[in-house]
Amino acid sequence: MARTDASDKTARLILVYNADGGVLNALKDAAHKIARPATYPCSLCALTYGWVAMHSDWRRFLFRLPLEKVFLHRDEAAKKGLAEEWPAVLLDAGQGVPEVLVPASELNAMQHRSELMALLLERLKDTGIVAR
């Protein structure tokens, strides 16, 4: 991974969910997570959200990261030309195309958000965004 100046204030963490935006879609997603959680298609959402709200430990983790956070649904990300597989966590260091930090294949294999937090922190350290 490319190193980035840790003082770069333009860096953004982009979290792309494998779900479409909108109130009706959010209601359908919540019902799907409750009724058939094993078949829910967005592992990022399943890891970081309860039925409707973000898990507090994940929220605290994100809040402490020294970069802007952008949350997108797949339909919004597609319009921006970001990534090709959803879900994904990207880093936009302001130097062109955002880099995929955590691809769908890794997110889909995770069992708990603590795995995601540890991996994301390590990858942000590798880029220099977060100090070692």
**What CATH number does residue 33 fall under?**
3.40.30
Stated pTM of the model: 0.86
Kindly state whether residue 79 falls inside one of the protein's structural domains. Answer: yes
How remote is the C-alpha of 61 from its chain's centroid? 12
93 domain-assigned: yes
Q: In a 3-state reduction of DSSP, which class is residue 74?
A: helix
- Is 86 inside a domain boundary? yes
Looking at residue 9, what is its pLDDT? Answer: 57
User: What are the residues whose beta carbons fall under 8 Å from the beta carbon of 8, sequence distance 6 or more?
Assistant: 93, 94, 129
CA distances, 106 to each of 24, 51, 116 (Å): 28, 22, 9
Contact residues for 50 (Cβ-Cβ < 8 A; gap 6+)? none
Eight-class DSSP state of 98: P
Task: Identify the CA nearest to 29 among candidates 18, 116, 57.
Answer: 18
> How many domains are there within the chain?
1
Q: What is the pLDDT of residue 4?
A: 45
Q: Which domain range does residue 52 map to? A: 12-127
| Residue 44 in domain | yes
Cβ atoms 71, 86 nearer than 8 A: no
Could you read off the pLDDT tens digit of each residue along the chain, which spans 132 residues? 544 444 445 799 999 999 989 888 788 878 888 888 888 889 999 999 987 789 999 999 999 999 999 999 999 999 998 867 999 999 999 888 899 999 999 999 999 999 999 999 999 999 998 888
> What is the spatial distance between Cα 37 and Cα 4, in angstroms, rounded to a whole number?
38
Q: Could you give the CA distance from residue 23 to residue 30 in angstroms, rounded to a whole number?
A: 11
